[in-house]
Structure 1
Amino acid sequence: MKPKFSSLFSVFFFAMTIVYGQNKNSPKFDVKKQLEYCAVQASKTLKVIPEDGTSPRTVPNGSKEWKFVGYKDWTSGFWPGELWYLYEASGDKKWEKEADKFTRFLTPLSVSKAADHDLGFQVFNSFGNGYRLTKNAAYKDIILKTADTLATLFNPKVGTIQSWPHNKYGGHNTIIDNMMNLELLFWASKNGGSKKLYDIAVKHAEKTMNNHFRSDYSSYHVVIYDYETGKKIKGITAQGYSDESMWARGQAWAIYGFTMVYRETKDQKFLDFAHKLARVYLDRLTTEDLIPYWDFNAPDIPNAPRDASAAAIVSSALIELSSYTKDKNLKNEYLSKSKKMIISLSDNYQSREVNSAFLLHATGHKPAGSEIDCSINYADYYYLEALLRLQKLK
């Protein structure tokens, strides 16, 4: 049966209200203007990057100067990913040229021994976006090789990819961030790589779903498993406030990651789980502007640092999750809150004249005293992605 015109019209109208405001008195949120802002900021950053194969990672609080990192740093894929998104937004060959340049710096990762799980962040955000936009066969080859490299960290006795082989937790450790890197495996399995890569990604997601979450669906940062039996030993944190607290970015990775796994598998259990993860995040979000504190259980709330990176990740994830949501009220909630997050980031968290990043007030590793209330490239990357996804609702 063909859908009724009125039903199609209502969906179309809702998308328009999300992008343009709900009535003639509502201010229009200009996505194009925000994308142009990002392009201006990125152009400033390009002028200060050393010609040594490094890329910008963070601008410390109180500074205007970027700290640069080499290709082995876990964040090295976000800057070239931003450049690819700017190329996608504008079609300007300037961005393609710069994106290609910084992407190719990461080539050695595809032929080096896997040091940790971050290969997805590093290679799929760079080469992956590049291949999606250009179909450059050389990029595809790098992606496929890197997927095979990442798969070497999979422990079949446990059922997950080990996140930090160098870490001294006394067992097989898996962090929630790793959910994001499964996308590399899914893509490779469907584009010329081994079918085993798909199976590894699914097993990792299933094991994580069954072991990485508390009864309220809040996420542990790290879970330690026995190497031989695969039995869960304990859940802990590295970057959250405490082992039992809900670290904001960790929950963000979970929401985004399981939404992506549903997209790749179409397995309903992953979609149902993504809804539960989003529910606890949204229900516990008490800030009026919907930008979370770095940890939902931080003892110094409301004076605790915010984390713009978590908001950027969740805002992007909710747009995608809404597209798989049949419940009209829930779909409306995801889209309206996602838009409010993006508007809050745009109105009150942009770097503007402070530095040449896109956003301020991200928090990296609070317990270590590292990257607190600063600008960080992954906050910028997911903010830009969220803007593009919002634009595509049109």
Structure 2
Amino acid sequence: MTRSLLHQILDYDNRADPYPIYEELRRTPVHHEEDGPYVISTYYEIRSLLHDPRISSDARNLASAGDDPLDESAQEGQGALPPSFLRLDPPEHDRLRRMTNRHFGPPHSPHRVDDMRPELHDIVTGLIDGIADPGRIDLVEQFSYPFPVTVICRLLGVPREDEARFHSWADTIAASLDPDPDADPAQRGKESGDARMQLGMYLAGLIEERRKKPGTDMLSLLATARGPDGTMTTMELLSTAALLLIAGHETTVNLVTNGMLTLLRNPDVLQRLRADPRLAVPIVEELLRFEPPVQLVPQRTPLADIEIHGVTIPKGASLWLVLASGNRDPRRFPDPDRFDPDRKDIQHLGLGSGIHSCFGAPLARLEAQHALAELARRLENPRLLEDPPPYRRNAVLRGPRHLSIACDGIRP
């Protein structure tokens, strides 16, 4: 018996290459299976819905929210963190995002990300210098994971030595985003709630320290800020800090790892990058289209009945937006299954779109550009030792769990 397309997307056996399934999915722009979500897989429809004010990101608006294991609001009574602004609608979303952005980007902090360039270079250099055996490198363990974790810890002011403590919490919370139909919803909800509570308690201690002795890090600024939108409550501050900490490294790990995997599969592009580091900018944009770190958004719901391609999606229904499928839509991108850094007009969905577009996009782009340019420059004759590599279980945040490569040496 053929499994449904949704089960095939979530099936780990298809994690290494889900794109043939997405191609089949696009034949029906609005895919709906009995008692399942409405799945949108085509570019223009996804982009339109990401900008549609009738589409809610708040799980409390789901008709079945009380039974939804992804519903963060159901966990509040267990002492867990409340929803972050990523899971809220305007005006609450807009207020919290504005307050956070005052200390991260324009117009109030226009140099925050750009001023990190020397620090990013030093971190990348140190990690590559620390590779002891160029004959066998696990790029994830030795580079792709520690790089963005170190960056986000320094940005927020989280002690790097505490990374091991929040690593397991972050993995558990990220796994809860995965709409796994075979998992026990109650168990997943409990594990996610416990992880969020422990992370919240940890962050509460840090925030209290920063309030007593503030520094220049973002956590200090968020904890002591007095702006036109007022101040964040303690719970808002905790959920925002948790979002930045987790999202600040989970997606970038995948972007860097998927990027190196793609370059090693396209050695001509790798050679071009080695000769011209400036090519890292268009390479990263094409990577965000070709192998986006966030494959799908499974947590949206209409606030009213909406019609797409003759299909009425009812108010309160579960709505999935398959970003990675939209990025391979031939109606939008010619020859979409070809990796082409020279591609023009590349308005991809790799970092979302609309009011919930990736908050950390400027930093993620810069991290990936630095990482891939230096890896290309310094690794002599790099090659894959295993293809496809083993992937993480997560279908939403898709990326290799390990990436085994070898090279003949490491240039200074």
User: So what's the TM-score if we normalise by structure 2?
Assistant: 0.29
Q: Based on CA coordinates, which of the two structures has the bigger radius of gyration?
A: 2
